[in-house]
């Protein structure tokens, strides 16, 4: 009998493909979702046991872990992420789980400017305190999916707009959601090999913003040009263009991650061979990811109506007030550090993430 595996955030970017890939391999899966929708229906058709509940409620987490031996721990990107992680950790220990795979961050360090990132660091330390529970961490950087936030503008206006710095600097090897999931699945199905280890799935090559724009253009069948914008313009766009899945709190943290991008933190030690070594396949190229997106979205096809709508959306961005990121963090009473350090300014992070160190080697807390 194969062990039953709980997948939290099972309707999310990595949770959904993780659950589906486990089902394909014949593992019994309990998929924890917030509500029933087309994604939960997809999971049920694949054979998953769908559990609808509140991931922040210890009672629901206890119920979800009943009869489960392993779990994929994927905390939502939210201001209460540490609360979710505490609930999961308590329930996992009380349920005597044997192995957990956590979705972490490449940037994570104890004194990072991002509250979300510091909470990931603490959560990682907490889950590893139990001597009975083995843990594998999957720590991706800037997802390929992040670029697709602006795919509509690329399709209809020929612009790829993000605050990523100079267009010719190769600063990221973006992984697909499916490749991140494949690494998690490998660790969930073979804990003896992967317990205690850390993996960083990436795409096959470092890309510049100009490379990203060119790949979008080839997939869309039109010329797409990269435009470096300010963080203020980014906050305006995330507020103006539907459908926006980003809260003000999330936008404030995304601005910090954009600064890390410009500093080159996502280029450190990239690309890796973790997808090839664990999943046995070459990581998907960014162009392939965009082509899948375009094939699934007929609304990205160019026409006068869509172009007019995109132009109106661009004008709306210009007229939308920018977010005051400092005010957001102050009003929400975020824990603030007197002297925060970006990843590459932190000796511990540099020592454990430098190119000379194998990213997949066991470490204490990275």
Q: State the CATH number of the domain containing residue 252.
A: 3.90.25.10
**206 located within any domain:** yes
Q: CA 24, CA 21: separation in Å to the nearest integer?
A: 5
Position 282 scores a pLDDT of 97
Q: CA 95, CA 71: separation in Å to the nearest integer?
A: 11
Give yes or no: residues 130 and 239 share one domain: no
pLDDT in tens, the chain (366 residues): 899 999 999 999 999 999 999 999 999 999 999 999 999 999 999 999 999 999 999 999 999 999 999 999 998 777 788 899 999 999 999 999 999 999 999 999 999 999 899 999 999 999 999 899 999 999 999 999 999 988 999 999 999 999 999 999 999 999 999 999 999 999 999 999 999 999 999 999 999 999 999 999 999 999 999 999 988 888 877 777 665 556 677 777 888 999 999 999 999 999 999 999 999 999 999 999 999 999 999 999 988 888 888 888 878 877 777 777 677 667 666 777 888 899 999 999 999 997 644 444 333 333
Q: CA 360, CA 340: separation in Å to the nearest integer?
A: 26
Give yes or no: residues 124 and 255 share one domain: no
Give yes or no: residues 15 and 61 share one domain: yes
**136 located within any domain:** yes
**273 located within any domain:** no
Q: State the CATH number of the domain containing residue 101.
A: 3.40.50.720
Q: 301: how many CB neighbours lie within 10 A of its CB? A: 12
50, containing H or E segment: strand 49-52
Domain carrying residue 210: 144-173+202-268+282-338
Q: Do strands 49-52 and 5-7 pair parallel, antiparallel, or not at all (unpaired)? A: unpaired
**Domain total for the chain?**
2
Contact 49, 26 (CB under 8 A): no
Give yes or no: residues 89 and 114 share one domain: yes
Position 102 scores a pLDDT of 97
Give yes or no: residues 114 and 37 share one domain: yes
**357 located within any domain:** no
Alpha helices in the chain (DSSP H): 15-24, 38-46, 58-64, 81-94, 115-127, 144-147, 151-157, 177-189, 191-194, 209-220, 231-240, 248-263, 274-279, 286-296, 304-319, 325-331, 347-353
Give yes or no: residues 109 and 243 share one domain: no
Tokens of residue 122, six digits: 């603490």
Give yes or no: residues 181 and 53 share one domain: yes
**153 located within any domain:** yes
**344 located within any domain:** no
Contact 117, 151 (CB under 8 A): no
Give yes or no: residues 247 and 210 share one domain: yes
Position 362 scores a pLDDT of 34
Give yes or no: residues 291 and 252 share one domain: yes
**351 located within any domain:** no
Helix (H/G/I), strand (E/B), else coil: 67:
coil
Non-local CB neighbours of 284 within 8 Å, separated by 6+ positions: 176, 178, 179, 203, 204
Nearest to 188 by CA among 102, 108, 65, 96: 102
Give yes or no: residues 36 and 184 share one domain: yes
Give yes or no: residues 168 and 62 share one domain: no
**274 located within any domain:** no
Helix (H/G/I), strand (E/B), else coil: 226:
strand
Total residues belonging to the chain: 366
Give yes or no: residues 192 and 210 share one domain: no
């Amino acid at each position: 009998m194969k062990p039953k595996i709980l997948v939290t955030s099972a309707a999310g970017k990595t949770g959904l493909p993780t659950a589906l890939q486990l089902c394909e391999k014949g593992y019994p899966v309990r998929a924890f979702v917030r509500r029933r929708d087309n994604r939960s229906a997809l999971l049920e058709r694949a054979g998953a046991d769908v559990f609808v509940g509140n991931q922040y409620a210890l009672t629901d987490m206890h119920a979800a872990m009943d009869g489960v031996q392993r779990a994929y721990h994927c905390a939502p990107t939210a201001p209460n992420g540490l609360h979710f992680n505490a609930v999961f950790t308590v329930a996992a220990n009380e349920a005597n789980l044997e192995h957990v795979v956590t979705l972490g961050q490449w940037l994570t360090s104890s004194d990072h400017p991002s509250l979300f990132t510091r909470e990931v660091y603490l959560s990682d330390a907490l889950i590893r305190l139990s001597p009975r529970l083995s843990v594998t961490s999957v720590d991706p950087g800037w997802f390929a999916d992040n670029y697709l936030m602006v795919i509509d503008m690329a399709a209809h206006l020929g612009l790829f707009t993000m605050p990523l710095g100079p267009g010719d600097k190769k600063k990221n090897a973006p992984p697909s959601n499916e490749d991140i999931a494949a690494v998690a699945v490998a660790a969930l199905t073979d804990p003896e090999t992967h317990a205690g280890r850390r993996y960083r799935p990436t795409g096959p090559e470092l890309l510049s913003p100009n490379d990203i724009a060119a790949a979008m253009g080839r997939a869309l069948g039109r010329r797409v040009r990269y435009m470096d914008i300010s963080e203020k313009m980014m906050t305006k766009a995330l507020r103006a263009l539907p459908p926006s899945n980003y809260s003000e709190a999330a936008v404030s943290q995304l601005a910090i991650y954009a600064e890390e991008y410009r500093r080159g933190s996502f280029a450190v030690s990239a690309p890796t061979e973790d997808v090839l070594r664990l999943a046995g396949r070459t990581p998907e190229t960014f162009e392939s990811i965009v082509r899948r997106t375009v094939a699934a979205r007929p609304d990205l096809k160019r026409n006068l109506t869509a172009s007019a709508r995109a132009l109106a959306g661009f004008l709306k961005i210009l007229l939308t007030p920018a977010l005051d990121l400092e005010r957001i963090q102050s009003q929400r009473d975020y824990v603030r550090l007197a002297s925060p350090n970006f990843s590459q300014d932190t000796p511990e992070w540099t020592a454990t993430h430098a190119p000379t160190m194998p990213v997949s080697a066991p470490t204490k807390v990275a």
